Amino acid sequence: MTIKEIARLVDGEIVGAPADDNYEVKKAFASDLMSDVLRYSMDETVLITGLCNNQTMRTSEMSDLRVVLIGRDKQPDEDMLELAEDLEITLIKSKYSIFKISGILYGAGIQPLY
């Protein structure tokens, strides 16, 4: 699934780095705990999180994440958006809860990490 398709499914807005239409997302992982994110391979994975700060961006950078879905209507500040652009990470902002986002993406065929 493309980043734009995911954004459409969760009624989200794309911010940070522009969406790469050639990047295919196959899996998702939902967590607000950054050390848990750092434990797994994040290939072809979207991180779904309610944690919206620079730490989200740094963790994503170390994990080689290309796309992060911020739920619960959290608003990234200027610093975070700038960091996302620098790190070439696309952010999708959604008003939905993490549970609702996860349900929608699971129903649409996105796979869990485990």
Partner 1 sequence: MHYSFDIERGNFADAGQASSSVKRTLKHLGVDPANIKRTVVALFEAEINAIAHAYGGRIDVDIDDGKIVMVVADQGPGIPNLDLAMQEGWSTASPQVREMGYGAGMGLPNIKKNTDDLKIETTVGVGTTVTMTVNLT
What's the min distance (Å) between Cβ of 8 and partner 1? Answer: 27
CA 60 to CA 85: how far, in whole Å?
Answer: 12
Task: Looking at 63-97, list the stretches that DSSP marks H as alpha helix, in order from N- to C-terminal side.
Answer: 78-86
Query: Is 94 among the residues that bind partner 1 (CB under 8 A)?
Result: no
Residue of 1, 30, 34, 68 interacting with partner 1 (CB under 8 A): 34
How crowded is the C-beta side of 58, counted as CA atoms within 13 Å? 7
Nearer to partner 1, 9 or 34 (CB): 34
The closest alpha carbon to 98, from 4, 15, 41, 28, belongs to 28
User: Could you give the count of Cα atoms lying within 13 Å of 14 in the half-sphere of its Cβ?
Assistant: 19
Interaction pattern, residues 38-77, with partner 1; x per rule: CB under 8 A: xx-----------x-xxxx-xx-xxxx-------------
Stretch that binds partner 1, among 4-12, 26-34, 89-97, 99-107 (CB under 8 A): 26-34
